[in-house]
Amino acid sequence: MGILMWLVFSALTQTLATFETEHSQKDASFTQNTVLHRHKREWEWNSIFVHEEQKIDHPVKIGKLKSTKATKNSIFVIDGIGANTTFVVDSHGDVFVKKTLDREKQSIYNLTAKVIDSQTKQLLEAEEKFYIKVMDINDNVPTFTHSQYNGSVPERSNGGTSVLKVTATDLDDPTTEYGKVVYDLLEGKESFNINTETGLITTKTLHDFTINLDREKKDTYKLIVQAKDTPSFKTGGTSTVTVIVTLEDINDNLATFTQGNYNFDVKESESIGFIIGRMKTEDKDELQNKNPIFTIKNPDDGSIFNVKQDFQKFGVITLLKALDFETIQKYEFDVEIDEATSMPADNEKELKNSKAHVTIKVLDVNEPPVFKQPSYNFTIEENVNIGTSIGSVSAHDPDKAKNTIRYSINEDSPLRIDPTSGTLYTAKELDREMNHLYAIPVTAAETDHEGLKSQVIVNLKVSDVNDNDPELGEPYSVFVCENDGPGTVIQRIYAADKDEITPGSKASFALASPNANFSLVDNHDGSANISVKQGGFTFEDTKEYIINIVISDNGQPSRSSTILLPISVCKCEENRINYHCMKPYAQTGVSVHAVTAILLCILTILVIVILIVMRKRYRKDTLATLGKSSGEIHEQLVTYDEEGGGEMDTNGYDVTVLNSARNNSIMPGPCLYATVQKPAGKADMGIMIEVKKDEADHDRDAIPYDTLHIYGYEGPESLAGSLSSLETSSSDSNLDYDFLNDWGPRFKTLAELYGVDASEDDYEY
Ligand SMILES: *[C@@H]1O[C@H](CO)[C@@H](O)[C@H](O)[C@H]1NC(C)=O
Ligand SMILES: *[C@@H]1O[C@H](CO)[C@@H](O)[C@H](O)[C@H]1NC(C)=O
């Protein structure tokens, strides 16, 4: 009320002011209430006002400059922006406006005034500032900041909920009515309010809120807002704007089924999680605000079926449990929908199908055979006779047809099966130590035309029978030290057994025959200690000691084995740490097989060497027989005291070997070839033979059969000189092959090859 009073008062004042100004303009007299009384200076004038937007045909007087110093000869001069163009002054001090003014462009003009003597051009009065104020008229209408406003508010909002604020501005003087703006709703008043001063749009409070702002009835409102200036008057400048208010959805509708009855068929073979069908629902809310909850009732088959929302918020029935046509052919139940709405639902009173009746028919499917058990476990002792029964499996046709079943098993399986009874028999001898667990697939097939099959795994465990002798845990290399005193434990031995070890039954040890030098003490924990009875072993003593041990496994029945354990004598430092044995320690326990193998190896190498030698020999012979004169080129080899070395004898000895033996460089030591120093003198041959014979007879390391004995001696008269196959490449090339030319055209090529020119080339033959 106070504001209104003030508005009226200020409006009145304004009007009065306007009136007075206009009046004073006509009279050109400036009246008392606006006169400025200057005491120090002699200027006297009114503030000058002029209305904007006046039509100016000729200069219009708007005020007068007065000075007490003014004389008849004085003139008035004004200065400043607009002076003498927009505003002019005459000699009497009257001020005129020459142009139409716009307050919205410039609302005040600051000027200065002077009084000058027209003759002396002297200032009669000091320069003084004054202003001309442009008076507003209502020449502008309010303008909205947007051409259209868009707002949204949740549907069903309480009264007073803010939607949005509109704003309009007026270019007219805001201190006057002309520049003030008020708002009003021209359209949309039934649902919305607007604050006339602030422009804030809010929802309206209605007695029956259920009819207000229901998105499902009307989701968009078009509001027209008016802005008007000069609030105190009915008239004034106005403008309007459109405000679009959209309602946001909330969950205020309950879902219902579109049908009262739903019928579905499902095959009994469908797996768990299978979607049996969809129950369509109806809900006016937007998808994200639909939240139907489905419950299975009458009877509660919730353990067999499940109904839940799909992405469309429909009810989807899925299978929770395997179905069996042979047990139940049809299911019937009700499904209820419930939904928690955020307020009493719009459709609460008009619900149709909040419950639906569901019928599910189970369809028969020809199913594969079913085994009585998901898997079978059998145990059988190893070594049982082939054909021993171990148990049986059983399957049946779950369908009405009740087809007979045939069983089968893989060919290479250790079991076979009776095709009709399902009894399993061993098909192989079973050795636990080879394989003690089998997983054998067994197939059952129906005998009808479809022949549906299923498989089951038979787990066969082979149980142990004491069928293995106990052994030593590892190949022990036992040695006794020269300095081992009586009672020294020289080795702890452990037993091993491929059979299952029965708890509590440890292998036991005993001496098979009394031993004068060593004793054996059973530790009763599967191990035994070998110790020295009395010391005094000597390294040089070549006797091999052997201890004869009996190991018993104490199984059912008990098995035992006798083990001969050789013991070497060694030179040891203290604490038996570093030792040196007569027989190489590593050789302990080397078997006859190993020795044979080594010998065979040596023999093979020997044969290869002989073959190479023979090949070279043969080539040389071939070449030699090419010409008669080549008869001179032969080895002057003499062999003595030989019993023949098999093939060795047929071609005599190879010069290569001979030569290498003489050089002592290529062939290894005297074990294969005895080297003989060439004795000096002519009659030395006899001595040399004797020496050689004696050496051969007494050489223990020699291989025990008659073999090569090459004497690096060719006799003092030998012409062969240094002829040797090792040196052929150099010596032979120096030979004269010119005789080949004499042999006729057939040997021409050969003659060319071995001719004088060819002798410089490297060649092989
Ligand atoms: C309101 O929506 C209309 C149409 O989509 C658009 O032209 C206008 O600019 C929007 N107004 C505001 C203030 O965003
Ligand atoms: C080992 O026993 C034999 C037979 O009793 C005996 O002659 C020999 O001296 C013993 N050797 C040692 C080193 O005790």
Asked if 18 and 117 sit in the same domain, the reply is yes
Asked if 702 and 684 sit in the same domain, the reply is yes
What are the angstrom distances between the C-alpha of 642 and each of 44, 684, 706? 170, 19, 8
Asked if 303 and 357 sit in the same domain, the reply is yes
Higher per-residue confidence, 546 vs 762: 546
Domain residues for the domain of 32 are 2-135
Residue 387 lies in a domain: yes
Q: Is residue 165 a contact partner of residue 123, using CB atoms and an 8 Å limit?
A: no
Asked if 266 and 240 sit in the same domain, the reply is no
Q: What pairing do the DSSP bridges indicate for beta strands 168-169 and 143-144?
A: antiparallel
Average pLDDT over residues 393-408: 92
DSSP 739-754: GGGGG-GGGHHHHHHH
Tokens of 151: 């707002």
How far apart are the CA of 147 and the centre of ligand 1, in A? Answer: 8
Mutate to test the pocket of ligand 2, among 511, 515, 517 (most ligand atoms within 8 A of CB): 517
Residue 675 lies in a domain: yes
Higher per-residue confidence, 414 vs 538: 414
Residue 148 lies in a domain: yes
Closest ligand to C-alpha of residue 517 is 2
Asked if 223 and 268 sit in the same domain, the reply is no
Q: Is 73 in the pocket of ligand 1 (CB under 6 A)?
A: no
Closest ligand to C-alpha of residue 150 is 1
Closest C-alpha to ligand 1, atom 3: 148
Q: How many domains is the chain built from? A: 6
Q: Is 148 in the pocket of ligand 1 (CB under 6 A)?
A: yes
Residue 117 lies in a domain: yes
How far apart are the CA of 518 and the centre of ligand 2, in A? Answer: 10
Asked if 6 and 127 sit in the same domain, the reply is yes
Asked if 243 and 351 sit in the same domain, the reply is no
| 369: preceding bond cis by omega (within 30 degrees) | no
How far apart are the CA of 244 and the centre of ligand 1, in A? Answer: 9
Among the residue ranges 66-70, 237-241, 645-649, the one predicted with the least confidence is 645-649
How far apart are the CA of 153 and the centre of ligand 1, in A? Answer: 16
DSSP 110-143: EEEEEEEETTT--EEEEEEEEEEEEEP-S----E
Closest C-alpha to ligand 1, atom 6: 148
How far apart are the CA of 224 and the centre of ligand 1, in A? Answer: 15
Closest C-alpha to ligand 2, atom 1: 517
Q: Is 534 in the pocket of ligand 2 (CB under 6 A)?
A: yes
Single out the residue in 135, 151, 180 at which a domain terminates.
135
Burial of 609 per CB tally in 10 Å (0-12, 13-18, 19+)? middle
Tokens of 688: 């040399």
How far apart are the CA of 186 and the centre of ligand 1, in A? Answer: 20
Closest ligand to C-alpha of residue 146 is 1
Phi, psi of 403 (to 5 degrees): -65, 150
pLDDT at 20 over 60: no
Residue 744 lies in a domain: no
Asked if 154 and 199 sit in the same domain, the reply is yes
Q: Is residue 427 a contact partner of residue 404, using CB atoms and an 8 Å limit?
A: no
- What does the mean pLDDT of the chain come to? 79
Asked if 314 and 296 sit in the same domain, the reply is yes
How far apart are the CA of 148 and the centre of ligand 1, in A? Answer: 6
pLDDT digits (tens, 9 = 90+) for 642-685: 454 444 444 444 444 444 444 444 343 333 343 444 444 445 66
String of b and e for 593-606 (b: at least 16 CB within 10 Å)? eeeeeeeeeeeeee
Q: Which atom of ligand 1 is nearest to the CA of 146?
A: 13
Average pLDDT over residues 27-56: 60
Query: Scanning the structure block, which residue is given the tokens 């703006």?
Result: 181
Among the residue ranges 28-42, 401-415, 564-578, 695-709, the one predicted with the least confidence is 28-42
What are the angstrom distances between the C-alpha of 344 and each of 12, 156, 205, 340, 641? 56, 11, 18, 9, 132
Q: Is 514 in the pocket of ligand 2 (CB under 6 A)?
A: no
CATH of the domain at 231: 2.60.40.60
Place 577 in a pLDDT band, splitting at 50, 70 and 90: confident
d(CA 217, CA 164): 22
Average pLDDT over residues 316-334: 93
Residue 121 lies in a domain: yes
What are the angstrom distances between the C-alpha of 331 and each of 298, 305, 309, 317? 11, 10, 21, 13
What are the angstrom distances between the C-alpha of 558 and each of 289, 501, 551? 82, 12, 10
How far apart are the CA of 209 and the centre of ligand 1, in A? Answer: 29
Asked if 195 and 106 sit in the same domain, the reply is no
d(CA 427, CA 429): 7
Q: Is 150 in the pocket of ligand 1 (CB under 6 A)?
A: yes
Q: How many CA atoms lie less than 13 Å away from 394 in the CB half-sphere?
A: 3
Closest ligand to C-alpha of residue 164 is 1
Among the residue ranges 30-34, 64-68, 130-134, 259-263, the one predicted with the least confidence is 30-34
How far apart are the CA of 149 and the centre of ligand 1, in A? Answer: 6
Tokens of 298: 């009458």
Asked if 111 and 181 sit in the same domain, the reply is no
Give the start-end residues of each E strand in 288-366: 293-297, 305-309, 315-319, 330-338, 355-363
| 557: preceding bond cis by omega (within 30 degrees) | yes
Single out the residue in 107, 135, 163 at which a domain terminates.
135
Residue 616 lies in a domain: no
Closest ligand to C-alpha of residue 546 is 2
Closest C-alpha to ligand 1, atom 2: 150
Residue 595 lies in a domain: no
Single out the residue in 111, 135, 159 at which a domain terminates.
135
Closest C-alpha to ligand 1, atom 9: 148
To 10 degrees, the CA torsion angle through 167, 171, 174, 178? -100
Give the start-end residues of each E strand in 420-541: 423-426, 437-446, 453-463, 471-472, 478-481, 489-496, 508-511, 518-522, 527-532
How far apart are the CA of 573 and the centre of ligand 2, in A? Answer: 22
Place 635 in a pLDDT band, splitting at 50, 70 and 90: very low
d(CA 456, CA 464): 26
Asked if 426 and 521 sit in the same domain, the reply is no
